[in-house]
Structure 1
C-alpha cells in the first residue's frame, strides 16, 4: 500500500494532506525519514510508521454504515442526557464510530457512520460542497414562485446568505431541497425565512448515496464501490475522474 494511502486510511489526514506531510519529512518508517508519498508500506504492522514521532496504528479495514436515523435519536456517539444515539443502532463492536455530519433530533433520514476519520472529514469539509438532499413537509400549503426563487438563489440568515440551492416542489407543501453547505438547522431556518416553517424533515441523499428502502432504525454496511464513490464526491471537481 502506498504511504499516503496508508496514512489516509489510518485517519491521519486526507490523501492530499498526507502527501504534503510525507514530503515535509514528518514521516518515518522503522526510524528512517521517508519523503516519497508513493513508497510501499506493508499493512500488517511489520513496519513502524510514525508521524512527528508518534506511532500510527496499522491500517485495518474500515467500515462505513448507512443508517436511517429515526426521530428522537441524537447524532452523537454519546449523550450526557441519556438519549438514544445513532451509534447505538449499528454493531460497532470495539470500533470507535463517528457520525458523518449531524441531523438534529427531530430530523430523520440518511446518516453515515464510519471509523474512517479522513473520509468523514472529506464529506463534511465546506470546501468540497458535497450535496445533501432533504425532503421537507412545510406549513402553509403550496409554496409560491417568489419563495421558491428565494430558496434557490439564497436566503439571508442571521449567519449570512445561503449558497444557491436546488429546490423542487413535487406536491403542495412538500419541498425537495439539495444543499452544498451544512449549517446548523439550515433547511428549517431557510423555510421559516420564506414563511413556510418545516413540519417534518428527512434527508434522502448524500453525494451519490441514497437512503433507498432503509426503514427508520435500519442500517447497512456500504461496499467498496460505494465508499469509493463517496471519496470521489468529496474531491475538488478538477480532480474527479
Structure 2
C-alpha cells in the first residue's frame, strides 16, 4: 500500500494554518472536522482526498503532482525513515506538496518509482485487476532451463502467496560465471515478489531493476534522477489502468 495517510495535526501544520502543537490543541477542542465530522483523536490519520475544516474554514487542497524517480539501490521507498536512512523523497529536491510513493521498490531494488499526492491515481495504478505491465530485469545466480522458468507463468507458492509473472525473456546467459539475466513482466507486485519466486526455484536474485512501468521507461535517466510526468503521460497511464 501507499504511505498516503498522515497524522491530522501534521497535515494542518503543513497547510500553514498554524503550528503542529496548536493544531493538536484545536483537534482536542473539537474545532477540526474531517469530511464534516468533528475529530478529537490526535492519532487520526487522513489522506489527500479527505476534506478538512479548521475553525469552520475549509483547507485548500493541493494541486495534483506526479513524479517519476529512478530509485537507486539502498534507498527506502518511503517519505521518512526512523533509522535515518536515505528515502526516495530525498531525491526530489524542493517539492511543496505532500507526495508519497505509489507502491514500493525493495531497499536493494532500483528502477522506476512513481510519487504523487493524487490518491485516486495511486489506487488506480496499484489495483491488480487493472494489469499495468511492470517490467523488471533480474540477474540471477544459476542458469534455470525454460521448463523451470515456465513455472513462473503458472505461479509458485511461497507462504500464503501464489507468485507469478505474465511473461519472461532471457537476455543473457553467462556459463562461466553461472549467471543469467532475465526480463520479467508482472501485473501484480507483492512484497519482494521476484526475489521470493526465484528463491523458491533455487536461483537467488543478485540484482533487480524495474525498467518499465506501463508506458514509462528509464530512457536518459541515471540512478537518483527524477522528473515530473507530463500531462500526456498521466492521461495515458490513467487510460492504461482503465482498459
Equivalent-residue separation in structure 2 for 1:92 and 1:159 (angstroms): 41
Instruction: Give matches, 1:137-216, under 5 Å.
Output: 137-140=139-142, 142-172=143-173, 173-216=180-223
Structure 1 distance, partners of 2:61, 2:240, is 23
Question: How many pairs does the alignment contain?
Answer: 187
Q: Which structure 2 residues correspond to residues 46-195 of structure 1 after superposition, within 5 A?
A: 54-55=51-52, 58=60, 60-140=62-142, 142-172=143-173, 173-195=180-202
Secondary structure, aligned partner of 1:231: helix
Out of 60-69 and 82-91, give the one that drifted further. Answer: 60-69
CA contact (8 A) 1:137 1:175 kept: yes
Offset from partner CA, 1:148-205 (integer Å, 9 cap, x none) = 1111221122123224421111111011001111100000011111121100000011
Unpaired stretches in structure 1, ≥5 consecutive residues: 1-10, 12-49
Report the Cα distance in structure 2 between the residues aligned to 1:186 and 1:94, rounded to whole angstroms.
33
| Structure 1 length-normalised TM | 0.72
Q: 1:75 to 1:175 in 2, by over 3 A?
A: same
Map Cα deviations across residues 84-107 of structure 1 (whole Å, 9 max, x no partner).
100110034321111011011110
User: What is the CA–CA distance in structure 2 between the aligned matches of 1:159 and 1:57, rounded to whole Å?
Assistant: 43
Contact kept? 1:154, 1:165, Cα under 8 Å: no
4+ residue runs over 6 A deviation:
none
The 1:163–1:200 alpha-carbon spacing in structure 2 relative to 1, beyond 3 Å, is closer
